[in-house]
Amino acid sequence: MEKVVIVTGANSGIGLALCERLLTEDSQLRLCLACRNMQRAEAARSALLTSHIDAHIDLLHLDVGSVQSVLNAAQEIKSRYSRIDFLYLNAGIMPNPQVDVRAFFKGLFSRNVINMFATAEGLLTQQDRLNSDGLQEVFATNLFGHFLLIRELEPLLCQSGHTTRVVWTSSSNARRSAFSIDDIQHRNGTEPYSSSKYASDMISVALNRHKNSQGLFSSVICPGLVMTNLTYGILPSFFWTLIMPIMWLIRIFTNTFTLTPYNGAEALHWLFLQKPESLDPRAKYHSLTSGLGTNYTQPRQMDIDGEMSEVLFSKLLELEKVVRRKLNERNSEDKRGLQMRYFR
């Protein structure tokens, strides 16, 4: 029986590289590219079919930053598939990153240079904004939209006698110090990306606690430092051209500089081959590349407070109720408005 694999944010970068690697591993997959931009998704599908002519590749419109889009996509998934084997939660944003140039140059010529590039700690701040649902955009896209998708797909994800894997693309930038349980959307901070990634780490732990008995197993990966659209958006392109030789040099001395999307997808691909019972639910699986270019995966314990992860899980459930109620009210108002215009 063919495996059904859904990948969010699959049209470029690590998501597209993962799809390529999965099809190379198993040409019989039923692969679904869940993307916000359907034109780019179609281009990604065409590229994959060039090297995998007989592959079964579906497209799905999904903007995880929009509650209505998530609900529509979930309904479409349930109409297409009778089960899901792998759900890769890869889509994410890092909006308008601002670089502390002084801190950058100070770190560039210090012993902290590797950690600075690997985690961006003390280097980046982002300006977040509200989306159309009244949620912080980074929180909605990187965490809540995916959480809502899982909730909607529970009939397919939690089936008797069947095991489903959920895999989150996290980051080494996921730091406990950036997250506040009293401000889960990070409305009052300047590191929404780091906060959202740490929150996804916690939700993965909570999901395992609540859903392992129902056949759902959740894992978290870190792709390492990868040159993708997110990364290139941090600094001007000419600047990356200038410092890339330095980064390749640093790569000789550290295994976290994976640099290419193919290398960054290593842990995502590795998890595809593992039995869920053998995995550590509190570990983050890191994509690593040696100085000689060998890719491998290594688990590292996450700094997760179990009690806090439960509180966050509960808060997301409550937020889900609020968001659904507001959406229903908005849809009802829109419907009444259409009816009034029709009868005038």
Radius of gyration of the chain (CA): 20
Bridge pairing between strands 86-89 and 97-99: unpaired
CA angle at 271 for the pair 267 and 275, rounded to the nearest 5°:
155
* Exposed / middle / buried, residue 151 (Cβ in 10 Å: 0-12, 13-18, 19+): middle
**CA distances for 60 relative to 18, 47, 206, 240, angstroms:** 17, 17, 28, 33
d(CA 186, CA 180): 7
Q: Element (H or E) spanning 286, and its range?
A: strand 283-289
User: With b meaning 16 or more CB within 10 Å and e meaning fewer, what string describes 30-67?
Assistant: bbbbbbbeeeebeebbeebeeebeebebbbbebbbbbb
* 34: nearest Cα among 136, 187, 182, 145: 145
Residue 64: helix, strand or coil by DSSP? coil
Residues sharing a CB contact under 8 Å with residue 314, sequence separation 6 or more, in sequence order: none
* 223: nearest Cα among 137, 141, 146, 298: 298
296 is catalytic: no
* Exposed / middle / buried, residue 85 (Cβ in 10 Å: 0-12, 13-18, 19+): buried
DSSP 3-state helix, strand, coil percentages of the chain (rounded to 5)?
50, 15, 35
* Active-site entry in 88, 193, 198, 262: 193
d(CA 259, CA 248): 8
**CA distances for 109 relative to 92, 114, 124, 192, 328, angstroms:** 31, 10, 18, 27, 55
Residue 302: helix, strand or coil by DSSP? coil
Residues with catalytic roles = 193
